[in-house]
Amino acid sequence: MSGKLGIPLSQKMKKISKRWGVLLFLQLGIPFVTDNPYYYKVLIIFYLYVIFAMSWDLIGGYLGIGSFGHALFFGLSAYTTAILNVKLHWPPLVNFPLSILCSVIIAFIVAKPTVRLKGHYLTLVTFAFPVIVTNIFFAFPDFFGADIGISGLSRLSRSRVVDFYIAFCATWGIYFILRGVIHSDTGLILRAIQSNEAAVISCGIDTSRIKLKMFILSGMFAGVAGFLYAHVIKIVEPSNLEVHMSMQPVVICILGGIGTLTGTFFGAMIVTIVNESLRVVEQYRNLIFYLLILVIVLFLPKGLKWYIDGVFHFLGSKLRGVTLARK
Amino acid sequence: MRENNIKKTLLAARGLAKHFGGLAAIEDIHMEVEKGSMIGIIGPNGSGKTTLFNVMTGYLKATRGEVFYEGEKISGMRPFAIVNKGIARTFQVPQCCKQLTIRENIHLACIHRCPKNIIEEKTREFARIAKIESSLDTLATNVPIGYLRKTELAMALATNPQLILLDEPFSGLTDLECYELAAIIKGVREKITLVVIDHKLKHLMPIVEKVFVLNEGRLFFEGSPEEVARNPEIQRIYIGGEIK
């Protein structure tokens, strides 16, 4: 069986396992090192950011669609599970497929008229939808909780450790699904659309259909992040749908490296650390956060992954040099 | 007899017109392309040659008239659907994905047509036909225009077409590159019907059987390359010299 452009799949998987095996193993072992609930919460939030950012990276990074309303899929999923959980007392497990379904439906509604648009028009439409939905939520304050939102959601499970493993599995599951997509022929089409859509159309490929599918997949994964977020933070608010929330995955991807997927882990790490560290200066948090982003974008424009890869490559070549010299 | 003629017609334009506001880019074009033929379309700049291609391939919507492919109406279809019917095209400015390698560009065109296990083999085959085998792993952004034109042709071939519309394939190429590309085009015409727009008559005329001359959006003349070469009106008005 062959993977992308003739590279054997077994060889590809071997490469993946080599690179990520150690990291996965280390993460799995975290519960054996600490039982501090705060660390678990921060780690789960880190995973949520990774999922959310990966979902954006699929269309923003690989497809080149500047979506700035991704919080819509995240927030709608969070609200769906919140309403079902708090008002109808349905357990998270039952709410999960329904929340994701809501995100998928809204992703379809947003994508259908959007995918044939280009540039600023497309960006504007992605901006407009969350504003419309937020206003609808405010029109029914009794149901959606207006400014206060909906609180008192039940936890994913009774144990933080189980919550951690759920977030861990969701993150790595989604990572490998997206990796599979990106390294398949579909991934090649995505990169080609970003490079020159006219060329892809002249190959007889329905680019609108591909974009629609990717939007839905992206919305679905953003919905997973929203669902997990709702049950970890245990409160959903209109801010979950707003621009600041939509900017989070964009910022994470820019920090980590747009269109790199693995870069989202680095970006999410920075965002989580910065967000948590700045809690002591809450009123300046956004200011410092965006200033830091400005600095990183100006001085590390390719994203952290590119530089980290460079360091590892350099160290690797040095180590190989030493080994050869000894031989 | 009439039935046979209808069967032989691969592409037909009936009263085709495209207006941009008050400007008639093409007007009342009636044209038939027979299966297995090699057609040239010439005319001065702005005579509507590329607009005609754009309307035929679904990139522009016709103001009036219809396009038929193998007797089926294709006007109104989207460009990708027309490609899937069997009409491939190239562009004045080569449309390759510059961030992908030549191999990936051809691979892209093979995706919906070849089983996965033979895509690589097919990619090499089309690259060999287009004489770009040596550059398969080079990024399209790093190759000269001659290679891009060949890559575009290889991509068009990979869509498994019956008809290819080539829009100014010799534009921007040196004489040597033009001769090489003309030889490649001659090589593929054995299996595929071709319609070629170009201004470089020195390279176009020897490879086509029939020429349509457009002027100010209208079909001005149709005939063999020899008839075009002998027609003083065409030479004087549209070419500005003698065709050799």
pLDDT digits (tens, 9 = 90+) for B77-118: 999 999 999 999 999 999 999 999 999 999 999 998 888 889
- Model confidence at A3, pLDDT cuts 50, 70, 90, reads very low
Please answer yes or no on whether A201 and B91 come within 8 Å at the CB atom. no
Residue A15 falls within a domain, yes or no? Answer: no
Assigned domain for A23 exists: no
CB–CB contact B111 A205 (8 Å) = yes
Candidates B108, B136, B166, partner chain A, best to mutate (most A CBs within 10 A)? B108
Residue A8 belongs to some domain of the structure:
no
How many structural domains compose chain A? 1
Decide if A202 and B155 are in contact by the 8 Å CB cutoff. Answer: yes
Residue A115 in contact with partner chain B when CB distance is under 8 A = no
CB contact under 8 A, B159 and A2: no
pLDDT, mean of residues A220-239: 94
| Nearest chain B Cα distance for residue A70, angstroms | 27
Higher pLDDT: B36 or A31? It is B36
Which three-class secondary structure state does DSSP give residue B87? Answer: strand
Which residues have CB under 8 Å from A55's CB, separation 6+? A70, A73, A174, A217, A218, A219, A220, A221, A222, A224, A225, A249
Beta strand B38-42 pairing with B210-215: parallel
Q: Is the CB of residue B223 less than 8 Å from the CB of residue B208?
A: no
Query: Which residues of chain A make contact with B96, given a CB cutoff of 8 A?
Result: 196, 199
Average pLDDT over residues A38-53: 93
Do residue A202 and residue B91 have CB atoms under 8 angstroms apart?
yes
pLDDT tens, residue by residue, A132-149: 988 898 888 888 888 888
Pairing of strands B210-215, B218-223: antiparallel
> Could you tell me if residue A242 is inside a domain?
yes
Length of chain B: 244
* Chain B residues bordering chain A (beta-carbon distance below 8 Å): 78-81, 83-84, 88-91, 95-100, 103-105, 107-109, 111-113, 116-117, 120, 155-156, 158-159
Residue B161 to chain A, least CA–CA distance (Å): 10
For residue A278, tell me if it sits in a domain.
yes
The tens digit of pLDDT for each residue in A47-103 reads: 999 999 999 999 999 988 888 889 999 999 999 999 999 999 999 999 999 999 999
Q: Which residues contact B169 (CB under 8 A, 6 or more apart)?
A: B90, B149, B153, B181, B185, B196, B198
Inside any domain, residue A125 = yes
Instruction: Give B235 to chain A, closest Cα distance, Å.
Output: 34
- A243 within domain boundaries: yes
Question: Is it the case that residue A289 has pLDDT exceeding 60?
Answer: yes
Nearest Cα residue to A95 out of A106, A105, A80: A80
Q: Check B97 against A199: CB less than 8 A apart.
A: yes
User: Which chain B residue has its CA at the smallest distance from A7's CA?
Assistant: B120
The SS3 of residue B200 is coil
Residue B61 near residue B76 (C-beta atoms within 8 A): yes
Chain B environment of A199 (Cβ under 8 Å):
95-97, 105, 108, 155
| Pick from A23, A35, A324: nearest CA to A161 | A35
Dist CA A281 CA A272 (whole Å): 15
Q: Does A196 touch chain B (CB under 8 A)?
A: yes
Q: What is the mean pLDDT of chain B?
A: 90
The distance from CA A7 to its chain's CA centroid, rounded to whole angstroms, is: 28
Question: What residues contact A273, with CB distance under 8 A and at least 6 apart?
Answer: none
Contact between chains at B98 and A195 (C-beta distance less than 8 A): yes
Question: Which positions in chain A touch B156 (Cβ < 8 Å)?
Answer: 202
Q: How far is B151 from chain A (nearest CA, A)?
A: 11
Which two three-digit tokens encode residue B142?
């790093």
Tokens of residue A245, six digits: 């929330």
List A residues 61-100 in contact with B (Cβ-Cβ < 8 A).
Answer: none
Q: A132-168: buried (b, 16+ CB within 10 Å) or exposed (e) per residue?
A: ebbeebeeeeeebbeeebbeebbebeeebeebbbbbb
| A71 DSSP assignment | H
Q: Could you tell me if residue A14 is inside a domain?
A: no
Q: Which of A73, A78, A91 is nearest to A154 (CA)?
A: A91
- Report chain B residues whose CB lies below 8 A from the CB of A188: 100, 104, 107-108, 111
Quote the percentage of chain A above a pLDDT of 90.
Answer: 47
**Least confident residue range of A6-10, A306-310, B47-51, B157-161:** A6-10
Question: Could you tell me the residue range of the domain that residue A246 belongs to?
Answer: 30-326
Q: Is the pLDDT of residue B64 over 60?
A: yes
**Residue range A148-177: mean pLDDT, rounded:** 91
Please tell me the pTM assigned to this model: 0.86
Whole-number percent of chain A with pLDDT over 70: 92
Q: How far is CA B109 from each of CA B35, B83, B102, B112, B151, rounded to the nearest angstrom? A: 23, 11, 11, 7, 11
Q: What confidence score (pLDDT) does residue B6 get?
A: 45
Which 3 state secondary structure label does DSSP give B34?
strand
| Chain centroid offset of residue A134 CA | 21
Residue B232, classed as helix, strand or coil, is helix
CATH number at residue A109: 1.10.3470
Q: How far apart are CA A203 and CA B56, in angstroms?
A: 16
Query: Which domains can be identified in chain B, with CATH numbers?
Result: 1-86+163-244 (3.40.50.300), 92-160 (no CATH)
CA distances (Å), B58 to each of A168, A276, B80, B92, in order? 48, 54, 8, 16
Three-state SS for B63-86 is: CEEEEEECCEECCCCCHHHHHHHC
